[in-house]
Amino acid sequence: MEDNNNMNDPSVPGTSSASFERVGQNPENPEDEAARLFEDYIRERESAATEIYNTELPTEHAYLGKMERVEGVDYLEPGKIYRLPIYTHHSIIYPGEIVPLMLNDFNLYDGRPSDSSDGLKFGLVFQNQYSDGGRVYGVTCQVYERGAEGLSALLKTVAQQRFYIVRQSQERRADVKILPEIVLPDPLISSCSNAMVRFANSSRKDRLTSFKRLLTQSTAWPQFVYDQYDTKEVMAKVERFLSSLKITSVQTDEVKLSFWLARNIPLTEEYRKMIFCTDSVLHRMLIINKALDHMWYFICKRCESEIANYDDMFAMSKQGVQTSYCNPAGYVHDTLTVHKTKENSTLPVERPSTNFSWFPGYSWQIIVCANCRQHLGWKFVAEKKNVLPKSFYGLSGTNITVKSHGDLKKTDDDDDITDRAAANEEQLDYEGLFELESSSSDSDEGFY
């Protein structure tokens, strides 16, 4: 009922249902034939004029108004402790994400030398997410654009590095320890002698596979043990997932890709936390691998009504399917874009508006859960007739969660991953990779 866009409106030229019936009724009639030709002509003209939405536009966050560029990007050294201004945030932000922010009581400039070439940097801390796990985690944010100075500061920032709080010095300042991103070398290749490494660098896949098979013969473990630490299988699944979303360009850097996937694949809060807390890129990929085995759907967090399907997701922004947008009150919504919601699962309320629209060219209208009336997000409708998509939905990550079809209980495999991620929490070195196979007792460091 709420989905009354032009696509189903027979009064709009070029939509087929009405004309198709007419032709079918009397194909011999020359008047009908003329009408059909005319409609074909209109349809052709329309499709020629159809504009596919430029997904770069939402990434610019133009609704925040004119802003000034802030120069300077610097990376902090992993393992070292830095004092940063901090702000709390309601959800997990992964490195690489663009985060628009409106900060009150803006004290970024306090204590910062005026000739600093470091640019503007602060920490976003996920207070609510981690208060139970002992450590409080966060991510550093680099400001790349800022609005005029006033009571609240409008900022466009990019999240950069994970950290945890070592000590909070003042209310809005803390000493934070920067976490490393560990890319484990291939366990087999790194164990072979220098003289043999050149075989491993073969660009031919089959040659590399047989070389690895040869190497396993001289180790204590059979090949399947090593295969578990191979990201080939994960990458094949990831590619299928991306092509189902029609996303063609993604990060090629392993670290960035692992965070991008954590953001864009439907995951439970627990999996999101695990992925954030682990330093090992491989373990992130293993958790993602597990998640890709499930067919997820999206439910209302409050009443658990089904709202949308996994395959309804699509990328309306170049950034991906789930991105952050700031509302006029300064609240940052993680917004997941879907083509449609399940029939009768959502209701639009209030009038559509174009003010502060996150998707330039689209009006928005608040939608609520049809069952419990909880706010779930927004329906966006194109203002121009020929823009595609004509409409879509943005679901708010705060009020939506995921559930998987089939077995919803935690499986042994899930425990296995929790153990690995927990054991990995400090630092994981090459030997640690093998110890994980046998140890399953240190899960009390976990995040549940």
Nearer to Zn ion, 371 or 386 (CB): 371
| Residue 378 CB, nearest approach to Zn ion (Å) | 16
Tokens of 94: 């992964």
Would you give the end-to-end CA distance of the chain in angstroms? 41
Distances, alpha carbon 306 to alpha carbons 3, 4, 202, 297, 403, in Å: 17, 20, 49, 7, 9
Nearer to Zn ion, 371 or 398 (CB): 371
Give the length of the chain: 448
| Residue 400 CB, nearest approach to Zn ion (Å) | 10
Nearer to Zn ion, 84 or 369 (CB): 369
Question: What distance in Å separates the CA atoms of residue 95 and residue 75, rounded to the nearest whole number?
Answer: 12
- DSSP secondary structure string, 9-44? -TTSTT-HHHHHHHHHH-TT-HHHHHHHHHHHHHHH
Nearer to Zn ion, 260 or 378 (CB): 378
Using CB under 5 A as the binding rule, the residues of this chain from 83 to 102 that contact Zn ion are none
Is residue 122 within 8 Å of 37, Cβ to Cβ? no
- What region, left, alpha or beta, does residue 178 occupy, with left being phi > 0 and alpha being psi -120 to 50 degrees? beta
What burial letters (b/e) apply to 163-174, b meaning 16+ CB within 10 Å? Answer: bbbeeeeeebbb
Contact flags string 359-388 toward Zn ion, x per CB under 5 A: ----------x-xx-x--------------
Nearer to Zn ion, 305 or 404 (CB): 305
CA within 13 Å, CB half, 426: 6
Q: How many residues bind Zn ion (CB under 5 A)?
A: 8
Nearer to Zn ion, 257 or 300 (CB): 300
| Residue 441 CB, nearest approach to Zn ion (Å) | 40
Contact flags string 291-330 toward Zn ion, x per CB under 5 A: ---------x-xx-x-------------------------
Contact flags string 251-290 toward Zn ion, x per CB under 5 A: ----------------------------------------
Using CB under 5 A as the binding rule, the residues of this chain from 36 to 75 that contact Zn ion are none
Binding site for Zn ion (CB under 5 A): 300, 302-303, 305, 369, 371-372, 374
